[in-house]
Amino acid sequence: MITSENPENFDKFLDRLINENIIIEVLSRGKSKCLVIAKIDSSSTFRRVDFLYTSPKEYPFAILYFTGSKAFNAVMRGHALKMGFSLNEHGMSKEGVKGQLINHVFENEESIFDFLQLQYIKPTDRIDGRNIISKTISQKTASPINKIEQTKKKTRKVLKKKSEKIEMKENEIIEKITQFKEKGISILDSLSKDELLQMIEACKDAYYNHQKPILNDNEYDILEEYTNNKFQNTIDVGAPVTGKNKVNLPFEMASMDKIKPDSGALSIWTTKYTGPYVLSCKLDGVSGLYLCDNDGKHHLYTRGDGHVGQDISHLIKPLKLPKMSNGTAVRGEFILPKLVFQEKYKDTFANARNLVSGIINRKTNDEKSLDLDFVTYEVVHPLMPPSEQLLFLKEIGHKVVQNMVVPSLTNEYLSSLLVEWRTGYIYEIDGVIVSNNAVYNRTSGNPDHSFAFKMVLSDQVAEAKVLDVIWTPSKDGYLKPRVRIEPIQLAGVKIEYATGFNGKFIEENKIGLGAIITMVRSGDVIPYIQSVTVPAENAKMPDIPYEWTDTHVDIKLKDPSKDTTVIEKNITNFFVNLEVDGLSTGNIKRIMNAGFSSVPSILKMEKVDFEKVEGFKSKMIDKVYKSIQEKVGKASLLDIMVASGKLGRGLGERKIKPILTLYPDILVSNETKDDKIEMLKKVNGIGKENSVEFVENIPVFLAFLKECDLENKLTIKLEDINIVTPENTSDPFYMKKIVMSKTRDKNIIDFIKMHGGIVEDSINKETFLLIIKSIEDVSSKVVYAKKHNIPILSVEQFNEKYLSV
């Protein structure tokens, strides 16, 4: 067998052997194979020799293939298939798909054995399948008892073990997990299946075998559920156990499916399983199996990955577990009472479950073992209904999980019970287990007749996990949080996002990846965050430079003038305020992409410049160009001041108009800054903060006018400004402050102004009415309005009420 980066060396080698009379006769010859008759010298015997060329990449696989017996190779290929790989003389492919070679460099045969977690076997010893030996420590087998025959159920793909770890270095895995914790679920979208599985494997190994969790429960659940949803249930619960005390469990220890966060999921399940129902606490500890074998010996095991666990029988005595009859097997949870943890360990350990994991993984007992409880919740053998299982456990002397039997179920009832048990039970719980009270044969995989109810879920209230906090800058550079949650159904509406209100709310409530929040929706109220049930380890704050406002309520960009989103929103705001046709968000983005990224540059565009903009054809160009000239041309100084946004946050038409009414030449008069500030304080509705901001920004606005070639606007007299101020003070809108959210309907704006109303951008306690684009709109303004009993109307509702008469 010959290998070389250059395939031509194969022919050169053969030609040299022919020239030196080592190859006597060529029987067949191809690019990679050559069959010959050869002998080394005149005294040696003629031999039939096969020459084979293989690339350096395939060389280790070719050597392995041609040095192993047929039986050895068949068993090794079968071992590879169990791990999800197809092995042949050319390489190793993913999941049996030929040609889709895995991304890993194999330097020699031994590296192939390492990859497949096998002991290296010399070529002379590759006789048959008995020579395939696992590289891991030989596993013990649990003491046999009369096993229940398990019915085969739908199988799941087993999480690949060593393979992905080799593909990505440990520090790379940890870095990706850290990015996930810091940046939220969106970071997972760019990762491959292999990368996600390696992250999960690392988390499970750290949790089950080293008692040093990388992610907390909620963070891990998000990672696992994301991967399962994207790649259709590729993950099993648990992790392979490491160490000398590992054993093959006599029973599969399955996990429990969670009910979907959908108010209709429960009714579907209860249609199939009609009750009565056994409800019990889902204990938040470490799962275990306690059994008495046919010889009367008692054994205690951890769950491990559900198939292989750890023998911890040394804990039977300190746990004071009762004697059981031969063939009895029960499941329970190793757990510490909440009060014990609070009084003795809270200052030393991060949480109770980490401490429990540490205790059960010690080879010897210490005083901490005496604080541990084993709380049972299931009789694995013999078979009996769930209610009888719990009675039986109590009768034979076990600590038994809190439970009850009910004839019917509702989301509201389960939700209230979950809240009650969370606060009142002596142990930490993370849900309610619901089981149909009947006898079922044990099956492989999670049972269909039981599920875990883990979060409050009713028609008007639901708990949801936080997947991300998305920070988006406003036109003023303020970063506004939007909370992304696992999709839930609430009052018939699918909810995936909620307003985060402001920076203070996110920081104080520690809203970040894995937090559990309570969402409320009542009637037509937009769903909002009512409270935080479980905070995240850290709030997810912006990952770009920011600073707090003086009140430490809001967050703003350190340099908003360089932020593309802020620039785009300000340009859009300018042209939308002036009602220029065709210049809203979408087209502004296209114009900016064409190189015109400021209001002045767009105002100076000629028709030929618009031809550079993607999607702009002659009709659109004529329409936009004409509208810019007309609308900007007839705009008053007040219109330009409001549209520009240059005079400060919150300074809109309602505040600027009274200023110009009282001081029409305030922009160009010769008073000092301090004098102008004092002058503005006398204007009704203008306080010190607005006065300072307005005066400080006068030079900014004048520079903007100059750059736009709009300095002529300074000569327009205020009385020329086209604003109608009605004399009828009895008009229902007279001097009323009305806020519009996500809409700038011209007809509505004109109607409000005509009737003496004032259109504002910011909502406050003085707001008379909030107008929104759609009743399904979710925003902080809507939440504020509802909280302060400010009427809310959609555009359609406003039109029906006021404009259709």
The model's confidence at residue 137, banded by pLDDT at 50, 70 and 90, is: very low
Percentage above 70 pLDDT, the chain: 88
The model's confidence at residue 515, banded by pLDDT at 50, 70 and 90, is: very high
CA angle 350, 356, 358 (to 5 degrees): 85
Percentage above 90 pLDDT, the chain: 44
Q: At what angle do helices 352-361 and 193-210 cross, to 10 degrees?
A: 70
pLDDT of residue 136: 47
What domains does the chain contain, in order, with CATH numbers? 2-54 (3.30.460.10), 59-131 (3.30.210.10), 162-235 (no CATH), 247-453 (3.30.470.30), 461-560 (2.40.50.140), 562-720 (no CATH), 737-803 (3.40.50.10190)
- In this structure, are residues 56 and 3 in contact, taking their beta carbons and an 8 Å threshold? yes
Q: Is the pLDDT of residue 5 over 70?
A: yes
Give the single-character DSSP code of 117.
Answer: T
pLDDT of residue 147: 43
pLDDT of residue 770: 93
Q: Is the pLDDT of residue 155 over 60?
A: no
pLDDT of residue 84: 73
Which tokens sit at 372?
């541990």
pLDDT of residue 240: 55
How much is the mean pLDDT over the chain? 85
* Cβ contacts of 285 within 8 Å, gap of 6 or more: 333, 334, 335, 336, 352, 353, 356, 375, 427, 428
The model's confidence at residue 433, banded by pLDDT at 50, 70 and 90, is: very high
pLDDT of residue 44: 73
Query: Rounded to whole angstroms, how far apart are CA atoms 498 and 509?
Result: 14
pLDDT of residue 749: 87
pLDDT of residue 282: 95
Residue with tokens 């013999």: 382
Q: Is the pLDDT of residue 746 over 90?
A: no
C-alpha of 356 from chain center: 28
Q: What is the largest CA-CA distance in the chain?
A: 126
Before 322, cis peptide (omega within 30)? no
Query: Rounded to whole angstroms, how far apart are CA atoms 485 and 530?
Result: 14
The model's confidence at residue 804, banded by pLDDT at 50, 70 and 90, is: low
pLDDT of residue 166: 43
The reported pTM is: 0.59
pLDDT of residue 41: 77
- Among 260-269, 320-329, 496-505, 538-547, the minimum mean pLDDT is found in 260-269
As a residue count, the chain comes to 805
CA distances from 383 to 57, 368, 561, 692 (A): 55, 34, 70, 79
- In this structure, are residues 490 and 462 in contact, taking their beta carbons and an 8 Å threshold? yes
Query: Rounded to whole angstroms, how far apart are CA atoms 333 and 367?
Result: 19
Q: Where are the beta strands (DSSP E) in 117-177?
A: 140-141
pLDDT of residue 102: 79
Task: Write out pLDDT tens, residues 180-211.
Answer: 988 889 889 888 888 898 998 888 888 776 66
* Better-scored residue on pLDDT, 145 or 298: 298
- In this structure, are residues 331 and 378 in contact, taking their beta carbons and an 8 Å threshold? yes
- In this structure, are residues 465 and 222 in contact, taking their beta carbons and an 8 Å threshold? yes
Q: Is the pLDDT of residue 235 over 80?
A: no
Query: Rounded to whole angstroms, how far apart are CA atoms 159 and 194?
Result: 10
DSSP H helical ranges for 68-216: 70-82, 109-115, 162-167, 170-183, 193-210
Count CB-CB contacts under 10 A for residue 234.
19
Q: Nearest Cα to 14, choosing from 54, 53, 66?
A: 53
Residue with tokens 């590879």: 80
Q: Nearest Cα to 148, choosing from 440, 448, 447?
A: 440
pLDDT of residue 171: 84
- Among 147-161, 408-422, 711-725, 779-793, the minimum mean pLDDT is found in 147-161
Dihedral over alpha carbons 636, 638, 642, 646 (to 10 degrees):
100
Q: Is the pLDDT of residue 368 over 50?
A: yes
Query: Rounded to whole angstroms, how far apart are CA atoms 109 and 279?
Result: 55
pLDDT of residue 442: 82
Which tokens sit at 382?
């013999």
Q: Are strands 286-292 and 329-335 parallel, antiparallel or unpaired?
A: antiparallel
Task: Write out pLDDT tens, residues 588-630.
Answer: 999 999 999 999 999 999 999 999 999 999 999 999 999 999 9
Which tokens sit at 194?
């292999």
Query: Rounded to whole angstroms, how far apart are CA atoms 325 and 505?
Result: 57
Which tokens sit at 215?
């992610």
Strand, coil or helix: 738: strand
CB burial class (10 A; 0-12, 13-18, 19+) of residue 414? buried
- In this structure, are residues 510 and 532 in contact, taking their beta carbons and an 8 Å threshold? yes
Query: Rounded to whole angstroms, how far apart are CA atoms 411 and 433?
Result: 13
Three-class secondary structure assignment of 335-389: ECCHHHHHHHCCCCCCCHHHHHHHHHHCCCCCHHHHHCEEEEEEEEECCCCHHHH
Q: What is the mean pLDDT of residues 484-498?
A: 83
Task: Write out pLDDT tens, residues 54-111.
Answer: 988 888 888 888 887 776 777 788 777 767 778 888 888 875 455 567 777 788 888 8
The model's confidence at residue 585, banded by pLDDT at 50, 70 and 90, is: confident
Phi–psi pair at 461, nearest 5 degrees:
-135, 140
Residues annotated as catalytic (active site), given as ranges: 282
**Helix, strand, coil percent content, the chain, rounded in steps of 5:** 40, 20, 40
Query: Rounded to whole angstroms, how far apart are CA atoms 563 and 12?
Result: 63
Q: What is the mean pLDDT of residues 345-360?
A: 88
Give me the sign of the Cα torsion angle 793, 797, 798, 801: negative
The model's confidence at residue 149, banded by pLDDT at 50, 70 and 90, is: very low
- In this structure, are residues 358 and 211 in contact, taking their beta carbons and an 8 Å threshold? yes
Sequence-separated contacts (24+) of 367-370 with Cβ below 8 Å? 369/315, 369/318, 369/319, 370/318
- Among 13-22, 34-43, 81-90, 269-278, the minimum mean pLDDT is found in 81-90
* Cβ contacts of 669 within 8 Å, gap of 6 or more: 663, 676
Count CB-CB contacts under 10 A for residue 567.
19
pLDDT of residue 105: 79
Q: Nearest Cα to 203, choosing from 218, 191, 211, 215?
A: 215
Query: Rounded to whole angstroms, how far apart are CA atoms 290 and 271?
Result: 34
Q: Where are the beta strands (DSSP E) in 685-745?
A: 737-741
* Cβ contacts of 6 within 8 Å, gap of 6 or more: none
- In this structure, are residues 324 and 396 in contact, taking their beta carbons and an 8 Å threshold? yes
Report the run of H or E that residue 8 belongs to, with start and end: helix 8-19
First and final CA of the chain: distance in angstroms? 93
Q: Nearest Cα to 483, choosing from 495, 494, 467?
A: 467
347 Rama sector, left if φ>0, alpha if ψ -120 to 50, beta otherwise: alpha
DSSP string, 415-456: HHHHHHHHHHSSS-EEEEEEEESS----BSSS-SSEEEE-S-
Query: Rounded to whole angstroms, how far apart are CA atoms 721 and 559?
Result: 34
Which tokens sit at 123?
């070529």
C-alpha of 81 from chain center: 31
Q: Nearest Cα to 307, choosing from 267, 260, 255?
A: 255
Give the single-character DSSP code of 737.
Answer: E
- Among 425-429, 571-575, 743-747, the minimum mean pLDDT is found in 743-747
Which tokens sit at 477?
């550079």
